[in-house]
Each structure stands twice: as C-alpha cells, then as structure tokens.
C-alpha cells in the first residue's frame, strides 16, 4: 500500500545525495581545474540540478497518493462504520498503553 511513497522517498534521497556529491566535487575541484574543466563541472552540476528539480516538482504525485489513501480510508469507514469504530478503539487502546508505560 505504501510502496509507491517509499519509492518516491528513496528517489528523492538519491537525488539529494547525487546533488550534494556533485556540489562537493564542484567546490573541491574548482580551484585546481582549468577553465574548460570548470565549464564541464558547471554543465554537469546544472544537469543534476535540473533533474533533481524535475523530480521534486513531480512530488505532487506523492501528495496525490496521500489524498487517494485518505479517500480510500474515508470510504472504508463510511461503508463499514462499526469496523471503523473498532479500529479506532484498538488504536486508542494501544496508544494509551504505550503512553501509560512512560
């Protein structure tokens, strides 16, 4: 049920790591490089940044997935109200027991 959200989160983590690595390479190597090599690093960093921005802008699919899950839960509770009450009570009991242990 949450596999899509986990995949999107993993993709975003990978994009951020790649972006950080590229920025680190640009900052570390820019002092000792020639103008052509700096231009190449600049081009590479721009490409990574453009790709990361495109993926972040696509994160609206994660928001849509969360809305779909909320709608699904809402329709489930409307179709089966007593099961919804039972689930809510069970969750409340578990949370109460966890808080009482503190």
Residue 37: CA atoms inside 13 Å, Cβ hemisphere, count? 10
69, 47 contact by CB (below 8 A): no
How high is the pLDDT of residue 1?
Answer: 47
Cα separation, 88 vs 74, in Å, equals: 13
pLDDT along the chain (102 residues), means of 10: 56 73 73 76 78 69 76 86 86 90 77
Contact 97, 37 (CB under 8 A): no
Whether the CB-CB separation of 17 and 55 falls below 8 Å is answered with: no
- State how far the Cα of 32 lies from the Cα of 40, in Å rounded to an integer: 14
Q: What is the pTM assigned to this prediction?
A: 0.40
The span from the first CA to the last CA of the chain, in angstroms, equals: 31
């Amino acid at each position: 049920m949450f596999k899509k959200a986990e995949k999107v989160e993993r993709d975003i983590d990978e994009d951020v790591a790649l972006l950080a690595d590229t920025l680190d390479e640009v900052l570390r190597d820019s002092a000792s490089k020639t103008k052509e090599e700096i231009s190449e690093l600049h081009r590479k960093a721009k490409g990574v940044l453009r790709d990361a921005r495109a993926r972040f802008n696509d994160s609206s699919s994660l928001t849509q997935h969360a809305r779909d899950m909320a709608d699904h839960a809402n329709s489930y509770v409307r179709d089966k109200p007593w099961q919804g009450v039972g689930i809510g009570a069970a969750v409340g009991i578990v949370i109460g027991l966890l808080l009482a242990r503190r």
